[in-house]
Amino acid sequence: MSVHPTAPPEKPAGPPATEVSTGPTVSGDVLRAVLIGATFVFGVLAVVQLVPSLLGSVAVALVLAAVVVARPHIPVPHAVLFGGALATLGADTSFDPVVFLLLPLAHLVLRSSWWAARVPRKGRVERAVLVPELRRAAVIQLACQGLALVGFAASTLDRNGLFVVVAAVALIGLVVLAVPRTWWR
């Protein structure tokens, strides 16, 4: 029996090998770190007016951050932001300029919780996927900051608070229009 040197080697059974490459990525741990930081800062800024001591505010903010990172799914981050908004409203009837900081932090808490809920801790998401998200967030923040500026200006003109309520309703309307409809169904 002779073996021909030109005979092709036997191919192994199964699918062909595939090579996949990705661009630069962000890990799930980084997304959770952003979520913890944003929730903590939001909590401190929102609660500091109600809790007299800074240490108490920091403790409340740490608890809020721990709860949100443990359960980043829909009702939890929204409830924390709602509680922070109530804390901000309950402190004083006038417009508080801290709102200009709370708006981007609230947006960051919501979006980073959305990503943290979908990307495992050791998972990764490509940065190219996050770029459109950042563009959209910038546009939404420009609109929100503009409405907040209108509310701030209205609060200095009208001491009754009517314009502030109108600006708040307009801001809520903007949020309803800007939030993706996927979670409404």
Residue with tokens 């943290």: 116
pLDDT in tens, 90-105: 656 677 888 899 999 9
Q: Which of 17, 74, 64 is nearest to 43 (CA)?
A: 64
Q: Is a pLDDT exceeding 60 seen at residue 2? A: no
* 119, 49 Cβ separation under 8 angstroms: no
Say how many C-beta atoms besides its own lie within 10 A of residue 136's C-beta. Answer: 13
pLDDT at 176: 67
Express as a percent the part of the chain with pLDDT over 90.
44
Could you tell me the residue ranges of all domains in the chain?
25-180
Q: Average of pLDDT values for 124-131?
A: 93
For residue 125, the surrounding DSSP H or E stretch is strand 124-126
pLDDT in tens, 135-179: 999 988 998 898 888 878 877 776 666 766 776 777 677 666 666
Q: Could you tell me the pTM of the whole model?
A: 0.77
Q: Average of pLDDT values for 101-118?
A: 94
Question: For residue 125, what are the β-bridge partners?
Answer: 26
* 96, 22 Cβ separation under 8 angstroms: no
